[in-house]
Structure 1
């Protein structure tokens, strides 16, 4: 039996993948079966393979590289870079690397004893809006009323010097029970999205583009996003909007002359809209928190605050509850998402003593994404 692809019922995106009988390692699929998986990823944007709790870090890394022939296949370059662990980066607490397979990051919550793939004792901290948003929920709202927030809507990418990965793989090893529910409350229109504690939220960049007016679409197709140098360090003193789409402009960003040394040639200028190579659909793909400028087709440049306001206006409709797929994690779920076609966000918070453990892998691409005209930024 070849690979089977089953669209997720009642969801705005996503599909379940059933591997051929006897196959326990998707990195060893036949060419025909991998081609089916590759197409499914681009068509459904998020695909989930259940029962992968024994997948090795090496196999997860190899599978991740298979989605992008241009990425570094040697394993020497994997896209996290030094600033992932820089003491001023907003990413510094998000995980730790497996010693023998540093391309794979260990994420989660809680204290874990020594012995996980050769690691010593590790303490993991689930990212929450308490550490990142300008205004936060009260403890009563979060822990008694089970309210939560989208932490940060984003694309996995260094956004400086390295090209965005094509795909990310995320493996659930120890996950919280589905019995605990939390709800995202939208402060601007009183909408509510109920989800399982720690669910990962996904939205389609193609849907985001389709929700735009024809005038906005035409302009977006010719607009370039300029990201800040060392963007995760640049934004570290600032705080995010309550929906996690972008940052509040209060002049708190780290001055460019106080950042680690940077080169003009490594600043990322990427199209605002990326084209799906399989479906040919246009995807609004922007990391709203890391944006520095928008370069419009009429020659106008929107600087930091105005650029943030504009991308927020374009992005906000796409995160309405009916457009969001929240993946409720089961042990052994391997989620693969098309990082050039979706945005995703961590959700939820954990109480003391609650634990989670996951493996994540994405590899910087060898080339930048392109627009419908084939023009790279």
Structure 2
């Protein structure tokens, strides 16, 4: 290779996050010495590689980041992608977002509408042009099938909201990365996250943060037979999937749905194009590290096609009860406190993560703790996930 072809080194510093002896998650890093208002193309490439490598990174000290610069960074990660938020413009999101749009209040930042303001409580007299807004429909535990008594919530007992990847799963491919900038959040008192699923599990954290689990670690926990099956199998998602599950309720640990038969009939979803229905491998391969992740968004899965070799005729599972039972066995293994990372964020920090490798969830907190203000942005990817084996073209 000629010297001119060598990519210059990054100008910023990447430091793996420290962890205690009890913690078993193997991802996460912080990035320092970087100004995202003025980032070179070389550093954009290095930052992209850092996200793929570390799965979750926190870029420190971005308090002066202009919202439009956050969006520009997202587009520079994937310049061939359609230049719109992965869930579409706000009109599309509010009309077709189903579970996602009815469960929270989302506002576009004026002049950078693809950067979404999400949070809780009063957002200030003038927040980048958003005037005197109070978010009155923040996250809530109404989505959980098992009720969390209000008095217990007000005392600081909370749950994981909904483990997911940021993915429309219809029409557009999932974002490679999501970026979430912290502008304001309460830091105390701590909340007590309860699984409330008879496991007795709980963990404490500061309020207003996001939790992560690695689907790479999930894959590594699978048996050899399970890996063989997952490597050769695929998933078909429902059309307008978040409308399809709009009346469903979630498990109290935030992972998966309670099966009540409340999924909408396809004819009740309105117009949809069969070509936009998404079919993805069960296992997604990291393009930088080559690692495999068991990346199945179970709440939206309508059919599984299961096989353990290339020549095998797949067994089609279209019973959502059976689908959820199979996924629960695999996915709950990593849903333990020692595998969960809740990275701390100072005001101005921006967390970025690889949607093709991770699940994440917001964590609610009592409104008495104070307001929360976040800027979220991602973009539908130009190329979708790649599995270890091809899906038959007939699928």
TM-score calculated relative to the size of structure 1: 0.92
- The answer for the alignment partner of 1:355 in structure 2 is 371
Q: How does 1:61-140 map to 2 (within 5 A)?
A: 61-72=71-82, 75=83, 77-81=84-88, 82-86=91-95, 89-92=98-101, 93-124=104-135, 125-128=137-140, 130-140=141-151
Q: Residue 380 of structure 2 aligns to a residue in which SS?
A: coil
- The answer for the alignment partner of 2:35 in structure 1 is 24
Deviations 1:292-345 (A, max 9, x none): 111112421112221122122211111111111012332111101111111100
Equivalent of residue 264 in structure 2, options 254, 260, 266: 254
- The answer for the alignment partner of 1:6 in structure 2 is 15
Q: Residue 328 of structure 2 aligns to a residue in which SS?
A: helix
Contact 2:192 2:202 in 1 (8 A): no
Equivalent of residue 50 in structure 1, options 60, 63, 78: 60
Instruction: Give me the whole-angstrom Cα distance separating, in 1, the residues matched to 2:182 and 2:299.
Output: 26
CA 1:30 to 1:375, structure 2 compared with 1: closer, same or farther past 3 Å? farther
Measured on the aligned residues, the alpha-carbon RMSD in Å equals 2.0
Instruction: Give me the whole-angstrom Cα distance separating, in 2, the residues matched to 1:248 and 1:61.
Output: 36
Q: Residue 308 of structure 1 aligns to a residue in which SS?
A: helix
- The answer for the alignment partner of 1:367 in structure 2 is 383
Structure 1 residue 224, shift from structure 2 partner = 1.0
Instruction: Give me the whole-angstrom Cα distance separating, in 2, the residues matched to 1:142 and 1:37.
Output: 38
TM-score calculated relative to the size of structure 2: 0.88
Structure 1 residue 94, shift from structure 2 partner = 4.0
Contact 1:199 1:329 in 2 (8 A): yes
Query: Which of 60-69 and 154-163 deviates more?
Result: 60-69
The alignment status of 1:191 with 2:192, answered yes or no, reads no
Contact 1:178 1:328 in 2 (8 A): no
Structure 1 residue 274, shift from structure 2 partner = 0.3
Contact 2:86 2:172 in 1 (8 A): yes
Equivalent of residue 35 in structure 1, options 45, 59, 74: 45
Contact 1:246 1:290 in 2 (8 A): no
Instruction: Give me the whole-angstrom Cα distance separating, in 2, the residues matched to 1:85 and 1:245.
Output: 24
Structure 1 residue 50, shift from structure 2 partner = 1.4
Q: Residue 353 of structure 2 aligns to a residue in which SS?
A: strand
- The answer for the alignment partner of 1:336 in structure 2 is 352
Instruction: Give me the whole-angstrom Cα distance separating, in 2, the residues matched to 1:194 and 1:133.
Output: 20
Q: Residue 50 of structure 2 aligns to a residue in which SS?
A: helix
- The answer for the alignment partner of 1:160 in structure 2 is 170
Q: Name the count of aligned residue pairs.
A: 368
Equivalent of residue 331 in structure 2, options 309, 315, 333: 315
Equivalent of residue 220 in structure 1, options 214, 230, 241: 230
Gaps of 5+ in 1: none
Q: How does 1:244-323 map to 2 (within 5 A)?
A: 244-297=254-307, 298-303=313-318, 304-323=320-339
Instruction: Give me the whole-angstrom Cα distance separating, in 2, the residues matched to 1:84 and 1:119.
Output: 19
Gaps of 5+ in 2: 1-9, 308-312
Q: Residue 279 of structure 1 aligns to a residue in which SS?
A: coil
Structure 1 residue 360, shift from structure 2 partner = 0.2
Structure 1 residue 169, shift from structure 2 partner = 0.4
Contact 1:233 1:254 in 2 (8 A): yes
